Amino acid sequence: MERVINFSAGPSVLPLAVLHKAQSELLSVAGSGQSVMEMSHRSPVFEHILAQAETDLRTLLGIPENYKVLFLQGGASLQFTMIPMNLLKGTKKVDFIHTGEWSKKAMAEVKRFGSVNVVASSEATQFDRIPSFSAKDFSDDAEYIHYVSNNTIFGTRLTEFPKLPNDKILVCDMSSDILSKPIDVSRHGLIFAGAQKNMGIAGLTVVILREDLLGRVPNLPPMLDYKVQADNASLYNTPPCFSIYMAGLVFEWLLAQGGLSVIEAKNEAKAKLLYDYLDASPFYRATVPLTKDRSIMNVCFVSPSPEMDAAFVKFAEAKGLVNLKGHRLVGGMRASIYNGMTIENVQTLIRVLDEFVQRQR
Ligand X SMILES: *Cc1c(COP(=O)(O)O)cnc(C)c1O
DSSP annotation of 35 reads -
Least distance in Å: CB of 123 to ligand X? 16
Contact 295, 336 (CB under 8 A): no
In the bound state with ligand X, the residue whose beta carbon lies nearer, of 197 and 334, is 197
Q: Active site residue: 173, 177, 293, 309, which one? A: 173
Longest dimension (CA), the chain: 67
Least distance in Å: CB of 306 to ligand X? 24
In the bound state with ligand X, the residue whose beta carbon lies nearer, of 173 and 309, is 173
Least distance in Å: CB of 32 to ligand X? 30
Least distance in Å: CB of 76 to ligand X? 3
Q: Alpha-carbon distance 216 to 228, whole Å?
A: 12
Ramachandran quadrant class, 219 (left: phi over 0; alpha: psi -120 to 50; beta: rest): left
Which residues make Cβ contacts (< 8 Å) with residue 47, sequence separation at least 6? Answer: none
Least distance in Å: CB of 194 to ligand X? 3
Contact 36, 46 (CB under 8 A): yes
Ramachandran quadrant class, 355 (left: phi over 0; alpha: psi -120 to 50; beta: rest): alpha
Q: Alpha-carbon distance 162 to 311, whole Å?
A: 43
DSSP for 72-114, written as a single string:
E-SHHHHHHHHHHHHH--SS-EEEEEE-SHHHHHHHHHHHHHS
Q: Active site residue: 56, 128, 177, 197, which one? A: 197
In the bound state with ligand X, the residue whose beta carbon lies nearer, of 122 and 176, is 176
In the bound state with ligand X, the residue whose beta carbon lies nearer, of 146 and 266, is 146
Least distance in Å: CB of 72 to ligand X? 11
Q: Is 21 a catalytic residue?
A: no
Residues that bind ligand X (CB under 6 A): 10, 75-77, 102, 148, 152, 173, 175-176, 194, 197
Please choose, from the candidates 219, 218, 203, 208, the residue with its C-alpha nearest in 3D space to the C-alpha of residue 185: 208
In the bound state with ligand X, the residue whose beta carbon lies nearer, of 102 and 253, is 102
Q: Alpha-carbon distance 299 to 204, whole Å?
A: 25
Q: Is 197 a catalytic residue?
A: yes
In the bound state with ligand X, the residue whose beta carbon lies nearer, of 199 and 333, is 199
Dihedral of the CA atoms 81, 83, 84, 85 (nearest 10)?
A: 70
Q: Active site residue: 102, 128, 253, 309, which one? A: 102
Q: Alpha-carbon distance 250 to 243, whole Å?
A: 11
Tell me the catalytic residues: 102, 173, 197
